[in-house]
Amino acid sequence: MKRWFALLIAAVAAAPAAAQTQPACPALLQHTVNRLQDDKPQALCQYSGKVLLVVNTASQCGYTPQYQGLEALHAKYAAQGLVVMGFPANDFGGQEPGDAKKIAETCFNFYGVQFPMFNKISVVGAGTHPLYASLAKATGKTPQWNFHKYLVDRQGVVVASFASDVAPEDKRIVGQLEKLLRAR
């Protein structure tokens, strides 16, 4: 009985240490951004351990049909750990002038977006959201237009940046994405 009790005490004492071995939220994801559909705050740390494709979007851009390719990636790879993250921005050509309701209509109703979409932010300039400042610092590349894409590995390390004219289904994105999804 004493041995069993000693083992139980040791197990309870070890539990906090085991909990501490869980990976911490990477610095890149230590932000809270409101969701587009309901304006509720979302901690980006919930995506720790996932492969991320972070995209600044706009509803009235020539690249807006890329929502279809982004959604196709989401549908194909979400079960393997991909999270596509959309961040509407009105920084280029005033191509995202609407409010959250109008943006949500375009994303969810017209393009059938199922991946996480967040409220409008700024991705360049003095008011750049800290997430985008970190992405730009890590790659040395700031978005030059809407639908710029950053690929982030499971450890929260930014591994690639793709210009707006690189479609989501482009082999350069898909190849790196699949490689990251295979890595654990």
Residues recognised as catalytic: 61
**For residue 90, what are its two tokens?**
């009105």
Q: Residue 181, class by beta-carbon neighbours within 10 Å (0-12 exposed, 13-18 middle, 19+ buried)?
A: middle
Distance CA 22, CA 171 (A): 33
- Residues 177, 78: contact at Cβ < 8 Å? no
Report the distance separating Cα 136 and Cα 124, nearest Å. 9
